[in-house]
Amino acid sequence: MENFPLHPFRKPKKLKNGKEIHVWYYYYINNAGKKIQKRCTGCQNRAEAESFVRAIPRPADIAEPFSLPTPADIKIKDIAGPMFTPGSAHLSRRQQLGKSTEFETMLINRRFIKIIIETWGDRRLESLEAAEVSTFLFQRERSGSWKNSFIQILNKVFEEAAWYKIKAPKLPLPTFARHSKKADIFTTVELNEIFKVENFPSFALYAFFLVSLSGGLRLGEARAIRTKQIILEKKALIVDGFCKKDGRRTVYNKAGTAEEPKLRAVFLPSKTIDILKKQIEESGAGLEDYVFTTSGGLPFRAEYVQNVFYKVLQKIGLIPLPQKSAVQSKAEGRGKQTRKKEKPPDGRKLVPHSLRYTYISRMRREVSAETLLKMTGHNSVEMIDYYTRPVLDSFLLSLPGVEKATENLFT
């Protein structure tokens, strides 16, 4: 399968009778950078799907492996063209260097590559000047974050040029300001209003957001919780991966890799441990099962939990109910949902990630910054093997005062 451009994957499909099944497909990226998806006929598991795609000839819209032009003829499109594409030497090097090769990341990077090729593809890399790139970016109505990402990918093109025996130093480009507002935190009164079981569609969703706050978890980390991560007698949770938007679970935390997962542990308040016990008992989740799932046994979808959270904030009056416009009313008539989320009257940014900010702010009252970094995943920590309890015990002992501070989280 290595370097082969077809990638099998599984996704749920709902039948006419309402039953949900899982079907195997495969995808590839064509020369235009478009994702093509097709069915793996008759496949019941990954082994069969992989065997199925091995037998498929190279699709007509994927070129044969890239052949190097002579140095004198090499242009920016020759260097950038194969970058971040399945089967390319560039992607193979990234894999061997332990850098991300996730499909979503590669797809985003290809969008930047496409712009670079469309703008300067027929130029030699050495002819590109900082002033023209900066002018190009100043004239684009995009965020500072987008422009900085564009510069990062352009720099990757300069790095790739070394493999073509082209010596072109990176351009001295400016870093653009980021104006996105950070999430605000909740007050004690607001937390008490939010965390009432009756505010949520189900007990599972109440427990989901409670553990998100109690452990300072990202939503993807909370969606990925399996029963075996919860060490009840220690009142601790091992954070060992997260769910992507498409439901796939990683074996590493944010900024980590499979080789260096950057796992961490957090204490949980007694209240949250009791709620988790009840959720596990009611759901019947086994050690390897997800704690928070849909009726089909899959982790909660990211969009779903976000919408639930906003509705809770609207229910208790922290966020106004969205006003219907003429466009909205017309769209609803077609069965579409186009309501825009309203902002709180006081101008705060209250989003699901506010729970993580609230956790950090409150824990900081009693815990040192160094200790808190270990618990939130903002710093490298030793990998924790939760099957080796002495290792877990040692790690938890290295978090002085944290258990007491955790119990005071809601006060």
Alpha-carbon torsion (212, 218, 219, 222), positive or negative: negative
- In this prediction the pTM is 0.61
Query: Where is pLDDT greater, at 116 or 388?
Result: 116
Digit-coded pLDDT (tens) for 300-321: 999 999 999 999 999 999 988 8
Provide the residue count of the chain.
411
Digit-coded pLDDT (tens) for 104-120: 788 899 999 999 999 99
- pLDDT over 70 at 71, yes or no: no
For the purposes of burial, counting CB atoms within 10 Å of the CB of 55, is it exposed (0-12), middle (13-18) or buried (19 or more)? exposed
Digit-coded pLDDT (tens) for 244-284: 887 889 888 887 777 778 888 889 999 999 999 999 999 99
376-398 in b/e form (b: 16+ CB < 10 A) is bbeeebeebebeeeeebeebbee
- pLDDT over 70 at 160, yes or no: yes
Q: Which helix (H) or strand (E) holds 114?
A: helix 103-120
Report the C-alpha gap between 309 and 212 in whole angstroms. 12
Report the C-alpha gap between 122 and 76 in whole angstroms. 6
Percentage of residues in the chain with pLDDT exceeding 70? Answer: 82
Q: Give the pLDDT confidence score for residue 182 in this predicted structure.
A: 77
Interval 213-234 mean pLDDT: 93
Strand partners, 21: 13
